[in-house]
């Protein structure tokens, strides 16, 4: 630590905020842990930028139809008047005009801007719901294994090992293929079925990662005094699990959920790239990349969906890192 | 004929050749001198765009150099008895000699059958059931032993075993007058097969057919007639060392990776009027990434794109946009149609007017663009491509860009004025078919027909999905993207597998939608008709019936954009294979 008068952002992070604020001459106020964390987060400019981008992306996904209405064309609408039939590429190289902000796709002239905007819906929807699924399963399994220990722990831990060793990509590829055979017999079909399937595949097989972390945290929490106190007052398992231990796990759950989202975005993009995703013509970022490979002489086709994936993953990672620092300042960077 | 991704499996046969041989009556014309060495006799051409269609580009007789060929995947086999790819039938003539082959010459001359191992074209009996060929004297295998007619007989008989040699065509199985107790040369080696093929002496071979066929010289041009010495036949393993009769023999064989060929010291130019044998060696690389292959071909690092189906989509723009590169390109028409089968099993598509609404409403210019634009094919208005005998312009659906009014009128007639919903299938690993399905979805939406797209992998497309009636019926598939190339450039070779309802099996069908007793009747008439012109006319009539019944939505008659190698001489498109002729190419350096 340098001189105490050198009050930089880094210093503030390392000193108790309440004291630092008090030194400014304001009335001393009690602050909750959440308030303190929020204050720390606000001072982390990188994380805040990430967070703003994340909120922006979520808004884009939610309001995609409105955005496309104002700035683009329906995502599946052909604009063959934009295409040079000799080269199959857009007239003038990319087709970027004020009507087509990102230019048009080769061959069919679909508006790339609209497709990138609509692609965010599939990417974020699947990434969020898959994350939610793995967090719920992982938390329940982790907390049960960690708290009860013994044979319960042994069974759940082995189960985690099995899931982690599962050849997920191969499974995903074949599952979608096999399912197509029985599609007509199922309650949901088409894109809805495929989105549900992707959420299941991505979410269900990723729970052991968060499960292990929660199990470890629970192992140390269950030995703490407040748990002993609750137990001596006659509290039973479920009460202790969900009212005493779980609230103390909110921070790690939040942190790992935020960091799991970008990896799920990437996984969804990879599956779309391999063709295991919603059916065309519905736009996905991975699917657009796969199509763009055939047209590598027209790089704008690859650039925009690629940038969309890049920005999304980067924003979530930066925000997640910042969130971890804010919630858990003791952790080493 | 089954088609696999980028490889064009077009094959032998030519309408002109059929015409010549069938009309020739009892006389046989000795064409042995007419083959012509690529460079010396055929007209020469400046290397300009499409120059290779009608003339030899860079004619030369300079010997030497290594011909470097490459292909993005692999093809079925180098065994002449076990291969069904046009590129393979074209290439294998550098290392083996069938009885007859297609004239290595540009333009329509390429469709002529010329004698190769045989001294002349076949002499036939009046009923076209017996065909006799005399072998050229002095032809030897790479080890110096003489080729006899018994080797040709053995080669034809061995490849009848379709459980060992699964790939090749079944023409000899279907047409030879085989004894009942003959199974295969391996299982029943002692059965007397003289009733099918006779070899009265070492230079004579006589084929006996179970029904008359005037175009048998096309059969004799099949790779199956390349002689195979029985002592060296190792069944399926023969592909690891094919015994050469042509000017080149295999040097190193690395299956799935690379073949190299060197000069065959026992090949004698005096026995071979059609081959120039210019390069000293061949190197054939397999599994080269497709875009990389194009770039290397353009740069001159590679001499030949062996697949012969043209450059990848990414390079079409490059080739079209660069005048120097365009001057090295040819854009030949291929005997292949890309189309969509309109399945009539489920309502409302069991009604012909509902099917017509799909054809009338389709934007076929958009479909053409999906397949690669005008350079990749002409907008089709019938199933049969124009190069097939009997073809005529049908004009039943004249508005190529989609006629919304007419389509709506069709819908009114079929009792679905507000349109209907159906499912379209495509091969998900073929971006062009996906683009076509998306395009159709867009244009039909304008008339109220709502399509849902379903993609399936190519490997199972016909065996488990689109080609399996049980699946298409249960899943209410209405339209299936499809494509077909001719085995044989006449109506028989193009149409018989895709419009005859009697070839439909439980699964693995290519005819997905044409089920009409009237058409079946016409097919029988065509089989029975011995006059070529009349037979062609019947096939043309069948094409018309297919379109009147709106069983298919034709998309494009395919074309390829091929680039000639930079240092390659004697380059031209052979119409029999619809790609560059590989027989007489040479190197400038």
Q: What is the pLDDT of residues B439-452, one digit of tens each?
A: 999 999 999 999 99
Question: Are β-strands B281-285 and B258-263 bridged in parallel, bridged antiparallel, or unpaired?
Answer: antiparallel
| Secondary structure (3-state) at B387 | coil
pLDDT given for residue A5 in this prediction:
43
> Among all residues of chain B, which has the CA nearest to that of A194?
B454
Q: Domain segments of chain A: what residues?
A: 9-48, 53-327
CB-based contact B370 A291, cutoff 8 Å: no
pLDDT given for residue A7 in this prediction:
42
Give me chain B's average pLDDT, please.
Answer: 86
CB-based contact A281 B441, cutoff 8 Å: yes
| Count of beta carbons in the 10 Å neighbourhood of residue A230 | 16
Write the DSSP assignment of A24-50 as a string of letters: TTPPP----HHHHHHHHHHH-HHHHHH
Write the DSSP assignment of B444-486 as a string of letters: HHTTTPEEEEEEE-HHHIIIIITT-HHHHHHTTEEEEEEEEE-
Using a CB–CB cutoff of 8 Å, tell me whether A192 touches chain B: no
pLDDT given for residue B241 in this prediction:
92
Residue B41: which residues within 8 A CB-CB, separation 6 or more? none
Contacts of B457 in chain A (CB under 8 A): 177
Condensed to tens digits (0 to 9), the pLDDT of residues B103-148 reads: 999 987 887 889 999 999 999 998 889 999 999 999 999 999 999 9
Using a CB–CB cutoff of 8 Å, tell me whether B329 touches chain A: no
| Alpha-carbon gap: A280 to the closest alpha carbon of chain B (Å) | 6
Q: Show the tokens assigned to B105.
A: 């010459």
Residue ranges in chain A assigned as alpha helix (H): 9-14, 17-23, 33-43, 45-62, 64-71, 112-148, 150-165, 168-182, 190-204, 207-221, 225-232, 237-239, 250-273, 285-293, 300-327
DSSP state of B39: H
pLDDT given for residue A191 in this prediction:
82
Domain B333-559 has CATH 3.30.365.10: no
B473 pLDDT exceeds 70?
A: yes
CB-based contact B476 A184, cutoff 8 Å: yes
> Among all residues of chain A, which has the CA nearest to that of B465?
A181
Between A88, A279, A298, which is nearest B373 by CB? A88
Using a CB–CB cutoff of 8 Å, tell me whether B445 touches chain A: no
The label of the residue with tokens 């790479």 reads B142
Are the CB atoms for B327 and B377 separated by under 8 Å?
no
pLDDT given for residue B21 in this prediction:
34
CB-based contact A297 B366, cutoff 8 Å: no
Contacts of B321 in chain A (CB under 8 A): 87
Are the CB atoms for B19 and B214 separated by under 8 Å?
no
pLDDT given for residue B488 in this prediction:
65
Contacts of B442 in chain A (CB under 8 A): 76-78, 108
Are the CB atoms for B38 and B102 separated by under 8 Å?
no
Residues 500-559 of B with CB under 8 A from A: none
Using a CB–CB cutoff of 8 Å, tell me whether B378 touches chain A: no
Contacts of A77 in chain B (CB under 8 A): 442
Partnered with residue B197 across adjacent β-strands are: B207
pLDDT given for residue B34 in this prediction:
37
Contacts of A75 in chain B (CB under 8 A): none
> Among all residues of chain B, which has the CA nearest to that of A182?
B475
Using a CB–CB cutoff of 8 Å, tell me whether A296 touches chain B: yes
CB-based contact B313 A88, cutoff 8 Å: yes
Q: Show the tokens assigned to B305.
A: 């794109």
The span from the first CA to the last CA of chain B, in angstroms, equals 39
| Count of beta carbons in the 10 Å neighbourhood of residue B459 | 12
pLDDT given for residue B8 in this prediction:
36
pLDDT given for residue B35 in this prediction:
39
B10 pLDDT exceeds 60?
A: no
The sign one gets for the Cα dihedral B159, B160, B166, B169 is positive
Mutate to test the interface with A, among B329, B440, B475, B559 (most CBs of A within 10 A): B475
B3 pLDDT exceeds 60?
A: no
Using a CB–CB cutoff of 8 Å, tell me whether A83 touches chain B: yes
Q: Which CATH topology does A53-327 take?
A: MetI-like fold (1.10.3720)
Partnered with residue B552 across adjacent β-strands are: B341
CB-based contact B374 A85, cutoff 8 Å: yes
CB-based contact A87 B321, cutoff 8 Å: yes
Are the CB atoms for A299 and A315 separated by under 8 Å?
no
Q: Show the tokens assigned to B36.
A: 């012509």
CB-based contact A297 B318, cutoff 8 Å: yes
Residues 293-312 of B with CB under 8 A from A: 312
Highest mean pLDDT of the ranges A180-189, A269-278, B196-205, B206-215: B196-205
* Lowest mean pLDDT, pick from A166-180, B40-54, B62-76, B332-346: B40-54
CB-based contact B317 A184, cutoff 8 Å: no
Q: Which CATH topology does B15-38+47-59+81-303+562-587 take?
A: D-Maltodextrin-Binding Protein; domain 2 (3.40.190)
B204-208: strand order across its sheet:
B123-124, B130-134, B204-208, B197-198
Please give the helix or strand (H or E) that residue B86 lies within, else none: helix B86-91
CB-based contact A275 B476, cutoff 8 Å: no
Residues of chain A with pLDDT under 50: 1-15, 18-20, 22, 332-333
Contacts of A186 in chain B (CB under 8 A): none
Mutate to test the interface with A, among B331, B346, B363, B369 (most CBs of A within 10 A): B369
Q: Show the tokens assigned to A120.
A: 């965010």
CB-based contact A281 B455, cutoff 8 Å: no
Contacts of A297 in chain B (CB under 8 A): 314-315, 317-318
Q: How many CB pairs under 8 A join A and B?
A: 82
Mutate to test the interface with A, among B294, B295, B298, B316 (most CBs of A within 10 A): B316
Separate counts of helices (H) and strands (E) for chain B: 19, 25
Contacts of A275 in chain B (CB under 8 A): 428-429, 455
Q: Show the tokens assigned to B393.
A: 């312009």
Using a CB–CB cutoff of 8 Å, tell me whether A297 touches chain B: yes
* Lowest mean pLDDT, pick from A246-255, B27-36, B266-275: B27-36
Using a CB–CB cutoff of 8 Å, tell me whether B453 touches chain A: yes
Contacts of B374 in chain A (CB under 8 A): 85-86
Using a CB–CB cutoff of 8 Å, tell me whether A185 touches chain B: no
Using a CB–CB cutoff of 8 Å, tell me whether B431 touches chain A: yes
| Alpha-carbon gap: A251 to the closest alpha carbon of chain B (Å) | 43
Condensed to tens digits (0 to 9), the pLDDT of residues B288-327 reads: 888 899 999 999 999 999 988 888 877 887 888 888 999 9
pLDDT given for residue A95 in this prediction:
81
pLDDT given for residue B408 in this prediction:
93
Are the CB atoms for B164 and B236 separated by under 8 Å?
yes
Partnered with residue B333 across adjacent β-strands are: B559
| Alpha-carbon gap: A236 to the closest alpha carbon of chain B (Å) | 53
Q: Is the link from the previous residue into B381 a cis peptide, with omega within 30 of 0?
A: no
Between B314, B453, B465, which is nearest A294 by CB? B314
> Among all residues of chain B, which has the CA nearest to that of A179?
B456
Between B291, B435, B437, which is nearest A296 by CB? B291
Mean pLDDT of B253-276: 93
Between A183, A275, A294, which is nearest B428 by CB? A275
Angle (CA) B42-B45-B47 rounded to 5° is: 140
Closest CA to B485 of B16, B8, B14: B8
Classify A103 in phi/psi space as left (phi over 0), alpha (psi -120 to 50) or beta. Answer: left
Banded model confidence at residue B38, pLDDT cuts 50, 70, 90: very low
Phi and psi at residue A34, to the nearest 5°:
-60, -45
Mean pLDDT of B197-217: 90
Mutate to test the interface with B, among A108, A178, A278, A299 (most CBs of B within 10 A): A108
Condensed to tens digits (0 to 9), the pLDDT of residues B365-422 reads: 999 988 888 888 999 989 999 888 888 888 898 888 889 999 999 999 999 999 999 9
pLDDT given for residue B290 in this prediction:
85
Using alpha carbons, list the distances in angstroms from residue B541 to B355, B394, B518, B525, B545: 20, 10, 11, 11, 6
pLDDT given for residue B232 in this prediction:
92
Closest CA to B16 of B433, B389, B396: B389
Contacts of A295 in chain B (CB under 8 A): 313-314
Q: Domain segments of chain B: what residues?
A: 15-38+47-59+81-303+562-587, 333-559
Q: Show the tokens assigned to A7.
A: 């009050």
Mutate to test the interface with B, among A179, A281, A284 (most CBs of B within 10 A): A281
Are the CB atoms for A285 and A119 separated by under 8 Å?
yes
């Amino acid at each position: 630590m340098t001189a105490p008068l050198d009050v930089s952002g880094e210093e503030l992070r390392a000193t108790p905020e309440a004291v630092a604020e008090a030194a400014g001459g304001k009335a001393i106020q009690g602050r909750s842990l959440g308030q303190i964390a929020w204050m720390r987060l606000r001072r982390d400019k990188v994380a805040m930028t990430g967070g703003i981008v994340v909120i922006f992306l979520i808004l884009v996904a939610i309001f995609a139809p409105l955005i496309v209405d104002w700035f683009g064309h329906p995502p599946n609408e052909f604009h063959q008047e934009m295409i040079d039939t000799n080269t199959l590429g857009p007239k003038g190289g990319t087709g970027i005009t004020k009507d087509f902000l990102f230019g048009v796709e080769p061959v069919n002239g679909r508006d790339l801007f609209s497709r990138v905007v609509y692609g965010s819906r599939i990417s974020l929807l699947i990434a969020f719901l898959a994350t939610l699924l793995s967090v719920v399963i992982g938390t329940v399994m982790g907390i049960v294994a960690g708290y009860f220990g013994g044979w319960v722990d042994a069974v759940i831990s082995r189960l985690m090992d099995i899931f982690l060793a599962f050849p997920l990509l191969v499974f995903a590829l074949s599952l979608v293929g096999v399912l197509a055979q029985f599609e007509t017999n199922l309650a949901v079909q088409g894109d809805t079925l495929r989105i549900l399937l992707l959420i299941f595949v991505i979410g269900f097989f990723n729970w052991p990662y968060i499960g292990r972390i929660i199990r470890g945290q629970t192992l140390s929490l269950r030995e703490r005094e407040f748990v002993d106190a609750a137990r001596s007052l006659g509290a039973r398992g479920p009460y202790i699990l969900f009212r005493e231990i779980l609230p103390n796990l909110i921070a790690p759950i939040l942190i790992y959920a935020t960091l799991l989202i970008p990896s799920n975005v990437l996984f969804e993009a990879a599956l779309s790239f391999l063709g295991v995703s919603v059916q065309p013509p519905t736009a996905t970022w991975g699917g657009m990349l796969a199509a763009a490979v055939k047209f590598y002489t027209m790089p704008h086709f690859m650039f925009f969906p690629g940038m969309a994936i890049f920005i999304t993953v980067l924003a979530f990672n930066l925000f997640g890192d910042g969130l971890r620092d804010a919630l858990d300042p003791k952790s080493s960077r | 004929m089954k088609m696999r991704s980028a490889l064009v499996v077009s094959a032998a046969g030519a309408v002109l050749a059929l015409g010549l041989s069938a009309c020739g009556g009892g006389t046989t014309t000795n064409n042995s001198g007419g083959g012509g060495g690529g460079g010396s006799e055929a007209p020469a051409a400046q290397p300009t765009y499409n120059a290779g269609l009608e003339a030899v580009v860079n004619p030369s007789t300079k010997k030497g150099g290594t011909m470097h060929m490459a292909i993005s995947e692999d093809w079925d086999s180098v065994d002449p008895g076990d291969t069904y790819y046009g590129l393979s039938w074209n290439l294998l003539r550098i290392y083996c000699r069938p009885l007859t082959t297609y004239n290595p010459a540009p333009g329509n001359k390429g469709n002529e059958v010329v004698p190769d191992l045989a001294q002349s074209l076949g002499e036939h009996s009046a009923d076209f059931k017996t065909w006799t060929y005399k072998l050229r004297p002095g032809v030897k295998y790479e080890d110096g032993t003489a080729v006899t007619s018994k080797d040709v007989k053995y080669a034809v008989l061995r490849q009848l075993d379709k459980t060992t040699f699964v790939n090749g065509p079944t023409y000899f199985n279907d047409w030879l007058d085989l004894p009942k107790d003959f199974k295969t040369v391996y299982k029943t080696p002692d059965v007397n097969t003289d009733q099918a093929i006779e070899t009265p002496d070492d230079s004579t071979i006589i084929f006996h057919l179970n029904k008359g066929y005037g175009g048998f010289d096309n059969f004799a041009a099949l790779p199956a007639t390349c002689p195979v010495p029985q002592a060296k036949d190792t069944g399926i393993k023969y592909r690891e060392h094919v015994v050469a009769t042509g000017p080149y023999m295999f040097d190193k064989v690395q299956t799935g990776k690379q073949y190299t060929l060197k000069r065959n010291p026992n090949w004698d130019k005096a026995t071979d009027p059609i081959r120039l044998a210019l390069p000293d060696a061949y190197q054939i690389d397999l599994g080269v990434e497709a875009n990389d292959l194009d770039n290397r071909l353009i740069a001159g690092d590679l001499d030949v794109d062996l697949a012969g189906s043209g450059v990848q989509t990414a390079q079409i723009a490059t080739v079209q946009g660069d005048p120097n590169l365009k001057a090295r390109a040819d854009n030949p028409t291929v005997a292949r149609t890309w189309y969509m089968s309109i399945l009539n099993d489920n309502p409302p598509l069991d009604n012909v007017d509902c099917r017509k609404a799909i054809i009338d409403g389709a934007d076929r210019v958009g479909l053409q663009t999906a397949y690669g634009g005008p350079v990749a094919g002409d907008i089709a208005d019938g199933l049969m491509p124009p190069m097939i005998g009997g073809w005529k312009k049908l004009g039943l659906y004249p508005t190529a860009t989609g006629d919304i009014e007419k389509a709506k009128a069709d819908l009114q007639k079929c009792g679905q004025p507000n349109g209907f919903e159906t499912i379209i299938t495509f091969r998900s690993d073929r971006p062009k078919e996906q683009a076509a399905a998306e395009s159709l979805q867009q244009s039909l939406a304008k008339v109220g027909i709502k399509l849902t797209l379903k993609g399936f992998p190519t490997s199972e497309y016909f065996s488990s999905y689109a080609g399996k009636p049980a699946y298409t019926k249960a899943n209410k598939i209405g339209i299936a993207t499809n494509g077909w190339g001719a085995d044989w450039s006449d109506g028989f070779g193009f149409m018989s597998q895709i419009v005859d309802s009697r070839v439909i099996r439980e699964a693995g069908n290519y005819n997905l939608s044409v089920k009409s007793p009237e058409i079946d009747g016409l097919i029988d008439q065509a089989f029975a008709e011995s006059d070529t012109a009349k037979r062609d006319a019947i096939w043309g009539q069948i094409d018309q019936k297919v379109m009147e019944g709106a069983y298919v939505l034709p998309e494009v008659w395919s074309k390829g954009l091929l680039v000639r190698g930079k240092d390659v001489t004697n380059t031209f498109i052979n119409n029999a294979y619809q790609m560059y002729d590989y027989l007489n190419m040479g190197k400038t350096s």
